[in-house]
Amino acid sequence: GDSVTQMEGPVTLSEEAFLTINCTYTATGYPSLFWYVQYPGEGLQLLLKATKADDKGSNKGFEATYRKETTSFHLEKGSVQVSDSAVYFCALLEAAGNKLTFGGGTRVLVKP
Amino acid sequence: GAVVSQHPSRVICKSGTSVKIECRSLDFQATTMFWYRQFPKQSLMLMATSNEGSKATYEQGVEKDKFLINHASLTLSTLTVTSAHPEDSSFYICSAQRTGFTDTQYFGPGTRLTVL
């Protein structure tokens, strides 16, 4: 079945540092890929998405590129802020269905 | 747009009682909604897929008689945890798909259930 693997956290950074969270996937067909963010005590918010190979999703300074050849969708941000402290989930949506498969989540803590 | 609400945000109940959680899409119609469960510091586990006007589809290992799902309208799905026990304590999150668009789910803020 489909699966998503992302780097374990926590990731602790200083403000303005560069952030990368690795995400790789296994799927049949051509899934859509997502990054969701969860702030403490809240539900998930869609951060960005990509629906086909080589697509780049971007939002709030975050970027991720759908790499079919490496089955990856790594999340990057050039300069993080304290407000970026949250748990980030990589997910895929199977091509022929509507179920999301989530990675384990990566907790990011940005210190001032 | 695409706002999903859940009510209540937190609930504490005694063991053996039932608790109902509502999930509403506020500004769009959602033929399909999903219910997830999240344990502390863990990822989301899909419990069931709820389709308006039909029976929910439960994931393997989820007791359908314990977690009752009703999706009676295009903007409301409810999850009822029947005869709750302490092991049912968890964070329950719903999501909704805009009717006709299957590529994105919009998530509610979650409901923290504590069973004493």
The per-residue pLDDT for range B10-20, each reduced to its tens digit, is: 999 999 999 99
List of residues 6+ apart from B44 with CB closer than 8 A: A44, A89, A102, B36, B37, B38, B93
Q: Residue range A52-57: average pLDDT?
A: 95
Q: Is the pLDDT of residue B22 over 90?
A: yes
Percentage of chain A exceeding pLDDT 70: 100
Q: In chain A, whose CA is at the least distance from the CA of B102?
A: A98
Chain B residues near residue A34 by CB distance under 8 angstroms = 104
| Distance from C-alpha of A85 to C-alpha of B64, rounded to nearest angstrom | 36
Residue A92 identity (one-letter amino acid): L
Question: Hey, of B42, B104, B112, which one would you mutate to test binding to chain A, going by the most A CBs within 10 A of its CB?
Answer: B104
Between B40 and A108, whose confidence is greater?
Answer: A108
Q: Is the pLDDT of residue A53 over 90?
A: yes
Considering only CA atoms, which of B21, B59, B93, B73 is closest in space to residue A97? B59
Q: Does A8 touch chain B (CB under 8 A)?
A: no
A90: pLDDT confidence band, cut at 50, 70 and 90?
very high
CB A32 within 8 A of CB A93: yes
| Distance from C-alpha of A98 to C-alpha of B78, rounded to nearest angstrom | 20
- Neighbour count for residue B7 (Cβ, 10 Å): 14
> Are the Cβ atoms of B32 and A104 closer than 8 angstroms?
no
Chain A residues near residue B90 by CB distance under 8 angstroms = none
- pLDDT digits 0-9 by tens, B39-88: 887 888 999 999 888 889 999 999 999 999 999 899 999 999 999 999 99
| Distance from C-alpha of A43 to C-alpha of B38, rounded to nearest angstrom | 10
Question: Hey, of B25, B101, B105, which one would you mutate to test binding to chain A, going by the most A CBs within 10 A of its CB?
Answer: B105
Q: Is the pLDDT of residue A74 over 90?
A: yes
| Distance from C-alpha of B84 to C-alpha of B107, rounded to nearest angstrom | 24
| Distance from C-alpha of B62 to C-alpha of A80, rounded to nearest angstrom | 39
Least confident of A100-104, B57-61, B102-106: B102-106
